[in-house]
Amino acid sequence: MASLVLKDINKYYTNTFHAVKDLNLTIDDKEFIILVGPSGCGKSTSLRMIAGLEEISSGELYIDDKLVNDVEPKDRDIAMVFQNYALYPHMTVFDNMAFGLKLRKMSKEEIQTKVNEAAEILNIKELLNRKPKELSGGQRQRVALGRAIVREPKVFLMDEPLSNLDAKLRVQMRSEINKLHKKLQTTFIYVTHDQTEAMTMGTRIVVMKDGIVQQVADPQTIYEYPANLFVAGFIGSPQMNFINCNLVEEGDKIYAIFGNNKLLIPTNKANVVKAKDYIGKDIVLGIRPKDLYAKADATFPNEESTFTARIDVKELLGSETYLYLKLDDIDLISIVQPNLAIEIGERIEISVDMNKCHLFDKDTEQSIL
């Protein structure tokens, strides 16, 4: 069990490339923290600095209030699970899991007990005598987790541990790692570029871009209140629709205007006063695909904020349908009920649930509402 404090941490590679910029983060004991962001944003570098595998250029890293910048990886009481599992190919599963314990000169009996306990938790007892090449990807992943578990570390670090697994197994392992976290009651820090993994696994998500933290919050908050355009576009699938608009005030109402279209900004939005600062200015309106409704849809909610768009592509996914819409030169996606009687090329009326809309400053890209 451990808490971590990352204070103004920076990483420069080759003295010039600034890979992680002023990273500040407090991770509580037993948290499941996800570092998420596109390739190259500095997630792995951050994790490796926590592990001690990468030197911290400046800033301070504390584990349980102890400054560990200069503490060797093996003395940090953390275990790391890598994307490629890093199992020893010539050793059995048992020996792979026991390896770290043998180095610590633990007794044979104790090693046996710990490996068996971990194998029980991970459901790999029957695999203990096999070599890694005799295992499936999912089983290898479990062994890699097992090797970390037996060490009973204070912190588990995982770097894209599921990325080599097929889609179905990934979903299964996602929930197994979640259960493991609950069972072990230990701090987990997990790196992924996959927003679905981030949303389904973490108690808190750290969204990164270009070495800079964009937002830190629980999954629901990140989804409902993205701090900026990047987070709004990165989290959520299919991604949020963005429309460049101008805000205008008519009487006591505020509208977002684009082309000949006009959408009413609801006055019940908590921060509507802030939107007033943007009257006459260009903003970006964000609407999630599920908040764009086709008129033909039984759930059409709003007669006031509508526009017409052409259906470019229709993707039937069984439980729902994605409509790819074209409105002048704007591309939009709407999620609608399956079996809607509308065809590609048709122009349909779209209604927007403006209570769910997001507004962003066009220059700073920060959220306004």
Report the interface residues with ligand ATP, using CB under 6 A: 13-14, 17, 19, 37, 39-45, 193
Report, in Å, the least distance between residue 78 CB and ligand ATP: 18
Choice between 191 and 359, CB closer to ligand ATP: 191
Of 207, 85, 186, whose CA–CA distance to 144 is shortest? 85
Query: Looking at the chain, how many residues does it have?
Result: 369
Choice between 44 and 96, CB closer to ligand ATP: 44
**Distance in angstroms (rounded) separating the CA atoms of residues 266 and 252:** 11
Choice between 98 and 206, CB closer to ligand ATP: 206
**Distance in angstroms (rounded) separating the CA atoms of residues 57 and 49:** 9
Report, in Å, the least distance between residue 54 CB and ligand ATP: 8
Report, in Å, the least distance between residue 112 CB and ligand ATP: 37
Report, in Å, the least distance between residue 17 CB and ligand ATP: 5
Choice between 49 and 101, CB closer to ligand ATP: 49
Tokens of residue 245, six digits: 């608009």
Please state, in angstroms and as integers, the Cα–Cα distance from residue 52 to each residue in 119, 186, 232, 368, following that order. 27, 19, 32, 39
Report, in Å, the least distance between residue 179 CB and ligand ATP: 25
Choice between 51 and 296, CB closer to ligand ATP: 51
**Distance in angstroms (rounded) separating the CA atoms of residues 121 and 146:** 9
Report, in Å, the least distance between residue 6 CB and ligand ATP: 14
Residue 259 identity: G
Choice between 37 and 138, CB closer to ligand ATP: 37
CB count in 10 Å sphere of residue 129: 10
Choice between 37 and 219, CB closer to ligand ATP: 37
Report, in Å, the least distance between residue 18 CB and ligand ATP: 9
Angle at alpha carbon of residue 166, lines to 162 and 172, rounded to 5°: 65
Report, in Å, the least distance between residue 86 CB and ligand ATP: 15
The three-state secondary structure class of 158 is strand
Question: Does residue 207 contact residue 222 with C-beta atoms inside 8 Å?
Answer: yes
86-91, long-range: CB < 8 A, 24+ apart: 86/144, 87/132, 87/140, 87/143, 87/144, 87/147, 88/132, 89/131, 89/132, 89/133, 90/131, 91/131, 91/132
Any residues with CB less than 8 A from the CB of 159 and at least 6 apart, and which? 44, 47, 48, 80, 81, 82, 83, 191
Choice between 41 and 311, CB closer to ligand ATP: 41
